[in-house]
Chain A
Amino acid sequence: MKPAAFEYARPADLAEACALLGELGDAAMPVAGGQSLVPMMSLRLTGFETLLDISRLDALKVVRDEETHVFIGAAVTHAMIEDGKVPDPAFGLMARVASKIAYRAVRNMGTIGGSVGLADPASDWPCCLLALGAEVVLAGAEGERVLGAGGFFLGPYETARDPAEIITGFRIPKLSAGARWGTFKVARKSGAFSDSLAIAVLTAEGEARVALTGTLDHAQLLPGASAALAAGDLAAVREAARAEVAQADPDADAYRLRCHVATVTRAAEEALTMEPRR
């Protein structure tokens, strides 16, 4: 369980990183926290000639509290979000999500950008970013691109990112005062990847978004359950979930579908019963 030999490069800035990635193509792979990539290399499930260490690029550590959005750089770790070291656009939702990812040792190293870049169908951030209606900011040799989270996740480990692009961060709309949210995760034990994770957001303006992950495909929004949540009808959320999870996760077995219905319903229930946040 040791990786094959590889070159290690640490570009000085984002421009150099993009240039190197463009130049080396498939032979290179960015590494951030290394918490997913390095184990896969150790198991020799994957391997690259060059690892491009982007974890120390200042451009990826930027955090901006803007008027309508919070920008969180891709290299911000789960632990920083958990600890409230960066502004939370969603009144503690992101800290909660972060705190349930893996173990603290992994959270100290693992980054939000790495999680989204990998797009493991069981990972937590894609689901959270969808529920918050966030945007993904990408940098490439051609410059910057911004994609809505909804169009970014295409399948298991598959995103709209061009292999030569680097995710620089996420633009996340701030919830206004009075918003509520809920999350529910089913996993075999603490720190394990989810069998199902649902995140429900109910804005002060009455808009609702329920996102589901832990599927065999990719995180996605459930419009029916979202509408039922907006209407404040928990029984309807469950009904809608029953119909929708089978579409969201067509290859899932009975157990996983049961979990999906449970997590969607309970995330919605938490949102409905939560004291409005301000």
Chain B
Amino acid sequence: MAATTETKGWIGARLLRKEDARHLLGASTFTGDVRVPGLKDVAFVRSQFAHGLLNSVVKPDGLETSVFSAADFPDLKSIDGGPELPSFRTAPYHAFAREKVHFVGQIIAACLAPTRGAAEDIADQVYADIEPRPAVVDMVEALEPGAEILHEGFPDNAFIHATVSEGDIAAIAARAEVEMRRSFRMNRQATVSLEGRGVLAYWDHRLDELVVYLSTQGAHMMRIGLSLALGLPEHKLHVIAPDVGGGFGGKNRLMPEEVAVCAIALKTGQPVRWIEDRREHLIASVHCREHHYDLTLYAEKSGRILGLKGEVHIDAGAYSLWPSGPFMEASMAARNLPGPYQMQALHVETHTVATNKAPMGPYRGVARPGACYAIERAVDELAHKLGMEPADVRRINLVTPDQMPYRTIGGLRLDNGDYPRALDMVRDMVDLPAIRRRQAEGETDGRRIGVGFAVYTEQSGHGAAEWMKRKSRIVPGYESCTARVLPDGSMLLLVGIQNHGQGLETSLAQIAAHELTLDPAFISVRYGDTALTPFGFGTFASRSTVFSGGAVAKATRLVAEKARRIGAHLMQTEYEETRLEDGAVHGPSGKVPLAEIARAANVRQEFLPAGMSPLLEATATYEPEESGGFFSYGAHAVVVAVDPETGVTSLLDYAIAEDCGTMINPLIVDGQIIGGVAQGIGTALYEEIPYDPDGQPLATTFGDYMVPCAPELPKLRIAHLITPAHGTEYGVKGMGEGGAIAPPAAISNAVCDALHGLGVIIRETPLTPRRVSDAVAEAEERRAAVSLKEEVPA
């Protein structure tokens, strides 16, 4: 990369990403590109039944040594996880099914061959004797008395029941003028990273360690998990995440395929890999989103919301994935239900339910897309009930800047920002009065126009206290960085996070560049290798810019300070007299380039001040002082056109006003928003994995599982408010997830707004053409039934 001319003000610079060139050229290395001599491919034999007793696994004659099942690995530890709470029930999750299978796609055996095709040939000949049991597929019915119980020792199908309660909900209920009860459902999805999962493992005899290439969001974390599962000490495990083509949460859990491949490599002594195909991804990767809400909203006639009561069901699938399981999903959903609104009481019973489906994991937004959808849909229904403009009801209830920091009734500390202004901005951007006029006039093509709003908050950069509150068995409360200046003055940042599409090689370089006044072109960011970087937790929960950015700033400042000391010595001046500028240490009467200082520190120690140790490098860890997190927030407004007959929804306009504090690189911020919104559009309109009553997944290829592509994306108009956070470096807040949080709510509100006049009720995502068209037809039937009744004299 050629050096850019500008050398000042790297915070906020609209730098093109360092990562782009290799990806645009298709020249990078992902796990699937790694070649090792003698490599063999694994094809898994997966359960075709949702629930059943696994009586035996019969290996094909003559191929016994190429097929592996549970019996071959009696010592493998189970890989279930969950919070450290006595009320949380766990069931062992073995990499290879033992005794029972609990979802279609669960691993029964692994077949090894020189190519994947040949491995699949063997897999076709493996016979699994399974005695089917009734499948549990609905999270609400799963808790009814008499339901088939999945796991031995569970009194019912819940992993956990928990209550989130603040304020006096009974008193609120007694005095509320308005009481409104509604149920909402967000259906199940896959995470659909562009690159599927993948793992390659082999024993390196020189290093005497198991080398594991893994498409993961956190190499260090997965080393812990693999060590526990395999019983191999961590210094014998070397985990490398090469380029990772998206994760979105789906690559942040220890998965059975990963343990299985490592175990086979250890057992056979051969290099082994498994590359997920899209069918496996849809059937057996981390699933997400599936929530059911039954909410009662209490309000005044003026539109002021008083409180919220209800039940939340989370369909967690069959097992609880390491490390933290699905528990956070329920508590986050409950605690985020009040959203950005002032309320006086909240009482939510949550149920995290085991069903015969693939285990649930995190996905961009974690729980908040569901919570935002439920509360924002409820706000619109309240507005309709009161005959008010939904945006006005929001305006009445939003937390205002003078109330900040504001502790929501869900217990979240909203730190700062101007929520009402964000709403006003998008209302103006889509020109709400103009839309209302257009609706009054009607469309010539039979379609109906609708507008929908949603306001969201996004907790980011939360540290130890917050994770301890969640009883997490891993507490990702800090990040680390080693900043190393090489002899020629160029620089390496070794960080514990994982860049898998977030542009962190660029943002982190910008931070170091800012501190050292060095051009980012001379700074490389390295990560994703347990042998290379200090420990870190990886990239998830919108944490990397806050935490890793903070660690980079701290480490680089230590380096900068040392550079100035050396510079002062070389210029024969005092440290206090020096400053960094344009990649050099400046004194009162001259300057020394960093390159010269680096040379002295690394290879010419005779130029160092007496007693100073050589090297120009520092390692630092960082955690913000306030560990409850920093809240990005935003408002989305969307205009849709709905064809009531076919049910097809088109997005006509999409406006976003968001605030993530200081932006390190506004281009990357916009990219994160656009990508998140695209996924949110998927949740709202397209993506769904339905199951039939026998627990068979019905979307197993991209022929059935719809993801939005370029034609489905409207032009997104993005406006930024900038309220720097107090207590993070530079005032940054995390913002990787927000784009995905609001769209299901905003788009659903818009579709319901479009069809409101027809009496249509839809309280479920995605809003597929079929669902919308059927809802319109049902509304028509209801109206016809009513008018028939009225015609009949009493």
Contact = CB atoms under 8 A, between A and B. Distances in A.
Interface of A: 1-5, 39, 43-44, 103, 186, 188-193, 195, 254-255, 258-259, 261-263
* Residue in B648, B708, B712 with the greatest tally of chain A CB atoms within 10 Å: B648
A193 B773 contact: no
A262 B770 CA distance: 13
Given A186-B646, A191-B709, A195-B769, A254 B124 contact: no
Contact of B706 (A43, A188, A259): A188
Nearest to A2: B117
A5 B117 contact: yes
B777 A1 contact: no
Given A43-B279, A44-B124, A258-B645, A189 B709 contact: yes
Contact of B646 (A43, A103, A190, A259): A259
A188 B277 contact: no
B26 interface: no
Given A188-B706, A188-B769, A262-B645, A255 B774 contact: yes
Nearest to B43: A2
A169 B379 CA distance: 59
A4 B115 CA distance: 11
Given A2-B116, A255-B773, A186 B709 contact: no
A43 B701 contact: yes
Contacts of B643: 262
Contacts of A261: 645
A186 B649 CA distance: 11
Nearest to B116: A2
7 contacts: A103-B709, A186-B769, A189-B708, A192-B703, A195-B769, A254-B777, A259-B769
Contacts of B590: none
Interface string B760-776: 00000000111001100
Nearest to B121: A4
Given A4-B117, A43-B279, A44-B120, A259 B773 contact: yes
B706 A1 contact: no
Contacts of A259: 645-646, 769, 773
Given A2-B117, A254-B777, A258-B645, A192 B706 contact: yes
B277 A1 contact: yes
A261 B645 CA distance: 9
Interface string B731-770: 0000000000000000000000000000000000000111
A44 B125 CA distance: 13
Interface in B690-743: 701, 703, 706, 708-709, 711-712
A98 to B, nearest CB: 16
A186 B120 contact: no
A254 B117 CA distance: 42
Contacts of B706: 188-189, 192
Given A258-B645, A259-B646, A189 B117 contact: no
B712 A189 contact: yes
A43 B770 CA distance: 27
Contacts of B118: 5
Interface in B112-131: 115-118, 120-121, 124
B646 A258 contact: yes
B686 interface: yes
Given A1-B277, A189-B709, 11 more contacts: A2-B120, A3-B117, A4-B121, A5-B117, A5-B121, A189-B711, A193-B703, A255-B773, A255-B777, A258-B645, A259-B646
A7 to B, nearest CB: 14
Nearest to A189: B706
Residues of B in contact with A, size category: 20 to 34
Nearest to A255: B770
A193 B280 CA distance: 22
Nearest to B647: A255
B591 interface: no
A4 B638 CA distance: 48
Contacts of A195: 769-770
Report, nearest first, the 3 A-B pairs whose CB atoms are least far apart: A2-B117, A190-B711, A1-B277
Given A255-B774, A262-B645, A2 B115 contact: yes
Interface in B94-119: 115-118
A273 to B, nearest CB: 11
Contacts of B770: 195, 255
B278 A1 contact: yes
A190 B709 contact: yes
A143 to B, nearest CB: 38
Interface string B632-648: 00000000000101111
A262 B776 CA distance: 14
Contacts of A262: 643, 645-646
A200 to B, nearest CB: 17
Contacts of B768: 188
Contacts of A192: 703, 706
Contacts of A1: 120, 277-280
Nearest to A261: B645
Nearest to A3: B117
B423 to A, nearest CB: 30
Contacts of A5: 117-118, 121
Nearest to B280: A1
Contacts of A193: 703
A5 B280 CA distance: 21
A44 B700 CA distance: 14
A262 B685 CA distance: 21
Contacts of B709: 103, 189-191
Given A189-B706, A189-B708, A258 B777 contact: yes
B142 to A, nearest CB: 27
A39 B279 CA distance: 11
A49 B648 CA distance: 43
B26 to A, nearest CB: 15
Given A2-B116, A4-B117, A195-B769, A188 B686 contact: yes
B280 to A, nearest CB: 8
Contacts of B115: 2
Contacts of A263: 646
A190 B277 contact: no
A39 B686 CA distance: 22
Contacts of A255: 647, 770, 773-774, 777
Nearest to B648: A186
A1 B124 CA distance: 12
A138 B708 CA distance: 39
A5 B120 CA distance: 11
B349 to A, nearest CB: 35
A188 B769 CA distance: 6
B120 to A, nearest CB: 6
Nearest to B686: A189
Nearest to B277: A1
Nearest to A256: B770
B780 to A, nearest CB: 11
A51 to B, nearest CB: 14
A108 to B, nearest CB: 16
A190 B774 contact: no
Contacts of A43: 279, 701
Nearest to A186: B646
Contacts of B647: 255
Contacts of A191: 709, 711
A188 B770 CA distance: 8
B124 to A, nearest CB: 7
A36 to B, nearest CB: 11
Nearest to B685: A189
A190 B712 contact: yes
A192 B770 CA distance: 14
Contact of A258 (B117, B277, B773): B773
Interface in B657-673: none
A263 B774 CA distance: 16
Nearest to B276: A1
B772 to A, nearest CB: 10
Nearest to B766: A188
Contacts of A2: 115-117, 120
A189 B769 CA distance: 9
